[in-house]
């Protein structure tokens, strides 16, 4: 059957994919199969509307998904190595255990995305523009001491926590909810929580330069 993928901005048909799928199959499955077909045929997916697509374990290596709408998409275990996800909308997407090595995540919307056990390498540009290495070695230490406490003290008091009672942001800023973090640091605190909860930040790496 033929399935159309549309541009997220204009609504115009961007790709017409030939997929093998039952007519009454779930929409998310159809979108996922269409995306896989498009990648295999090197079709243009830049700015495509791929919301809620089921792309679990899909091979999307080197795909250009910049500006695409992937909100609520299931990308768990997907191979996104070297994929271009710059400015993509990944809000509430499931990226658990995804391979994001060398992917470009610069300025992507990762709010509420599940990044648990996702695999980034040091050169990967993340949502705020810096590389993963720069984020771990420069941004995170600066954030953790922004409340006036020593880096090692914050980490030793908080790194193994599982609640807001003593998590790193609570300890660093003496607060118990993200809304109470000073507004200048609040977006960075929300970003930190995403990566920390996904178990992607190792205290040994953060303390490397101390």
Taking residues 169-198, report their average pLDDT: 96
pLDDT of residue 47: 98
By the 8 A CB rule, do 52 and 29 touch? no
pLDDT of residue 209: 59
pTM of the complete model: 0.90
Q: Which domains does the chain have, with CATH numbers?
A: 1-127 (2.160.20.80), 132-206 (no CATH)
Phi, psi (deg, nearest 5) at residue 200: -100, -5
Residue 162 reports pLDDT greater than 90: no
pLDDT of residue 101: 95
Instruction: Give CA separation, 179 vs 175, 184, 190, 204, in Å.
Output: 9, 11, 9, 28
Residue 96 reports pLDDT greater than 70: yes
pLDDT of residue 112: 95
DSSP string, 19-80: ----TTS-HHHHHHHHHHHHHHTT---TTBB-TT-B-TT-B-TT-B-TT-B-TT-B-TT-B-
* Lowest-confidence pick of 95-104, 138-147, 160-169: 160-169
**pLDDT grade for 165, boundaries at 50, 70 and 90:** confident
Which residue has 């919307």 as its token pair?
A: 109
pLDDT of residue 160: 87
* Lowest-confidence pick of 6-10, 84-88, 179-183, 197-201: 197-201
Phi, psi (deg, nearest 5) at residue 46: -60, 125
What pLDDT digit, counting tens, does each position of 41-74 carry? 999 999 999 999 999 999 999 999 999 999 999 9
What pLDDT digit, counting tens, does each position of 109-154 carry? 999 999 999 999 999 999 999 999 999 999 999 999 999 999 999 9
Residue 94 reports pLDDT greater than 70: yes
């Amino acid at each position: 059957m033929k399935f159309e993928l549309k541009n997220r901005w204009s609504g115009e048909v961007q790709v017409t994919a030939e997929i093998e799928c039952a007519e009454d199959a779930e929409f998310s499955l159809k979108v996922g199969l269409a995306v896989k077909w498009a990648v295999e045929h090197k079709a243009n997916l830049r700015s495509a509307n791929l919301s809620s697509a089921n792309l679990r374990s899909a091979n999307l290596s080197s795909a250009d998904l910049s500006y695409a709408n992937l909100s609520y998409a299931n990308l768990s275990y997907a191979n996104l190595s070297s994929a271009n996800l710059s400015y993509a909308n990944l809000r509430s997407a499931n990226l658990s255990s995804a391979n994001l090595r060398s992917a470009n995540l610069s300025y992507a919307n990762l709010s509420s995305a599940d990044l648990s056990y996702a695999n980034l390498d040091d050169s990967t540009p993340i949502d705020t523009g810096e590389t993963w290495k720069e984020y771990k070695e420069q941004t995170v230490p600066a954030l953790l001491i922004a409340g006036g406490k020593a880096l090692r003290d914050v980490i030793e008091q908080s790194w193994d926590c599982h609640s807001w009672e003593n998590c790193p942001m609570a300890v660093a800023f003496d607060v118990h909810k993200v809304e109470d973090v000073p507004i200048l640091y609040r977006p960075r605190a929300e970003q930190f929580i995403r990566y920390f909860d996904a178990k992607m930040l190792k205290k040994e790496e953060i303390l490397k330069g101390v």
